[in-house]
Structure 1
Amino acid sequence: MRGAQKTAKGVSLYSRYVNRPAGRILAAAAYRAGLTPNQVTLISAAFSFAGVAALALVRPSWGLAAAVWAALAVGFALDSADGQLARLRKESSPAGEWLDHVVDAAKIAALHAAVLISFHRFFDLPGPGWLLVPLGFQSAALLIFTGGLLADKLKPRGAAAAGAPAPPPSRLRAVALLPVDYGVFCSVFLLLGSERVFLAAYTALFVVHVLFLVAFMAKWFRELTAIRPV
C-alpha cells in the first residue's frame, strides 16, 4: 500500500499524516473485500451525504456535531482510499477519476448548502446577511477545487521530469495549507453544539479560504501564462 501513494507535494499535514494513512487502511480492507475503486467512491459519497443530510435536517447539538464530523471524516478517508485501491489494483481510469471529482464537487456544494439551510432553520443569526456567508464559502471552495484541478491538467506532463530531481515536500507549506484542507474544514462541525462558536469558526475559515483563493488564482494564472505554446 505504501507504493500506491501519491506524492506529498502540495499536501497539508492533515492529509499526509491522518487522511492518507486512514485511507490506506480502508483501501486494504476494500481490497480484501473485493470492492472496486468506483464502489469505494460511492461508499465515500454515501457517508459524506449522510452527514450533509443530517446537518440540513437535524437541530444542532453536540451529538449531531459528533455524528456529522464522523460521517464527513470517514467519507474523506474513503475518498483517499479509492485512489489508493485503484493504483494497487492497477485499475486507474479516466472514468474513475471523473467519478471521484464529480462526487467531490457535489460534496463541497452540498455541504455549504446544508450549512445555509441549517442557518436558516435553526440558528439565531445576528442578521439575514449572515446567510450570504455559506454562499460565499461555497463559491470560494468550489473555485479552489476546480481551479486547482484545471491548473494541474493544463500543465505539461513532462515539464517537471526534464530538470533536476524534485525537492522534498516543504513542511512549512504543509502547515500553511492546513486551513484549506477539507479534513480540517470537517473538524469545524465538531463545534455545532454552540451556535456562536460554530458561526465564528465557520466565518473565520470562509475569510481564510477567500484569501487563499486570491493567492492560488494568481499563482495558477502566473504558472500557466509562463507556458509557451508548442
Structure 2
Amino acid sequence: MTTLENPRRSIPELRAELRAAQKSGAGVPAYTRWINRRLARAVAPVAAAWGIGPNTITFLSAALSVAGVAVLVVAPAGLSAGIAAAILLASGYVLDSADGQVARLTRSAGPAGEWLDHVIDAFRTPLIHTGVAIAYYVHRPEDAWVMVVALAYALLSSGQFMSQILAEQLSVRHGRSMAETSGRVKSLVLIPTDPGTLCWAFALWATPVFAPVYALLLAANLVHAGASLRRKHRRLT
C-alpha cells in the first residue's frame, strides 16, 4: 500500500522512514550534504502526507528556478532582486532534492520520474547562466566580460552534467566502479562547485562583488570539471 493510500501515516512516521533511507554523502559538497538535503527531508514528508506527488514537486522546483531567473532579467538590478532570486533558486534546489524523497515515501519511484528529474536538471543550470548573460545585457551592458563568463559557465555545466549521467550509466553497463570518497574535508573543499553556493551568490547581485565571485566560481568549477573528467575516463578505461 502506498503512502498516498494510507492517510493514517503521520508526518513524524514519514520523517523517521526517510531518515533510514538516505543517500550516501560521499563526494557531495557541503551545502547540498548538510543543508539542502536536510531541508528536503523536512519538505518531503509533508508533501507525501498531503498527497503531493514527486512529479508535482519536480515541476514546482522548475517553476521556482525559472521565476528566480526571470527576476534577474526583468527586475532592476537592486538588492531586493538579488535576494528574491537567491531565495527562489535555493527553494527550487530544495525541491529538486525533495522529489526523489517523496517518490520513495509514496512508493512511486520509477524510470519516468527519474527521467523527468534529470531532464529538468539538464535545462536548469544552463538556464541560470544564460539568464545571467541576458540580465547583464539588459541592465549592465558595459560589463560584457560577465556575459562571456556566464555563457562559458552554461557550456561547462551542460558538459559536466552529461559526463556525470553518462559515466553512471556506462559504469553499470560495463561493471566499473564510480564510488567517490567521503569525508568532511572533501565536502568543504567542494563548496565552490555546490549548486547551493551558486544560488546564494545571487544575494550579491546588486553589489560590485557579484561579478568577481561569479568568475571565481567558474574558475573553481573548471578545475573541478577537469579533474572529474580525467577521473571518470580513467575509471571507465
Same fold judged by TM-score > 0.5? Answer: yes
Deviation at 1:156, TM superposition (A): 2.7
Matched, 1:204 2:220: no
Any conservation in 1 of the 2:133–2:151 contact (CA below 8 Å)? Answer: yes
Q: Could you say which residue in structure 1 is the equivalent of 2:230?
A: 218
Q: Distance in 2 between matches of 1:131 and 1:159?
A: 39
Q: Could you say which residue in structure 1 is the equivalent of 2:122?
A: 105
Q: Could you say which residue in structure 1 is the equivalent of 2:193?
A: 180
Residues 47-105 of structure 1 deviation map (CA, whole Å, 9 limit, x = unaligned): 11110111111121110111001001110000111011111222211110110011111
* Count of residue pairs brought into register by the alignment: 218
Matched, 1:76 2:88: no
Deviation at 1:131, TM superposition (A): 2.2
Matched, 1:169 2:182: yes
Any conservation in 1 of the 2:132–2:147 contact (CA below 8 Å)? Answer: no
Matched, 1:90 2:102: no
Deviation at 1:124, TM superposition (A): 5.2
Matched, 1:190 2:203: yes
Q: Distance in 1 between matches of 2:25 and 2:121?
A: 20
Any conservation in 2 of the 1:4–1:88 contact (CA below 8 Å)? Answer: no
Residues 15-54 of structure 1 deviation map (CA, whole Å, 9 limit, x = unaligned): 1110001001110110111011111101111111110111
Q: Distance in 1 between matches of 2:225 and 2:33?
A: 21
Any conservation in 1 of the 2:36–2:93 contact (CA below 8 Å)? Answer: yes
Matched, 1:19 2:32: no
Deviation at 1:129, TM superposition (A): 4.1
Gaps of at least 5 residues in structure 1 are: 161-165, 226-230
Identity between Structure 1 and Structure 2 (%): 36
Of 125, 141, 154, 1:138 maps to 154
Length-normalised TM-score, structure 2? 0.87
Q: Could you say which residue in structure 2 is the equivalent of 1:163?
A: none
Q: Please list every run of at least 4 consecutive aligned residues from structure 1 whose deviation after the TM superposition is greater than 4 angstroms.
A: 157-160
Matched, 1:45 2:53: no
SS of aligned partner of 1:83: helix
Q: Could you say which residue in structure 1 is the equivalent of 2:13?
A: none
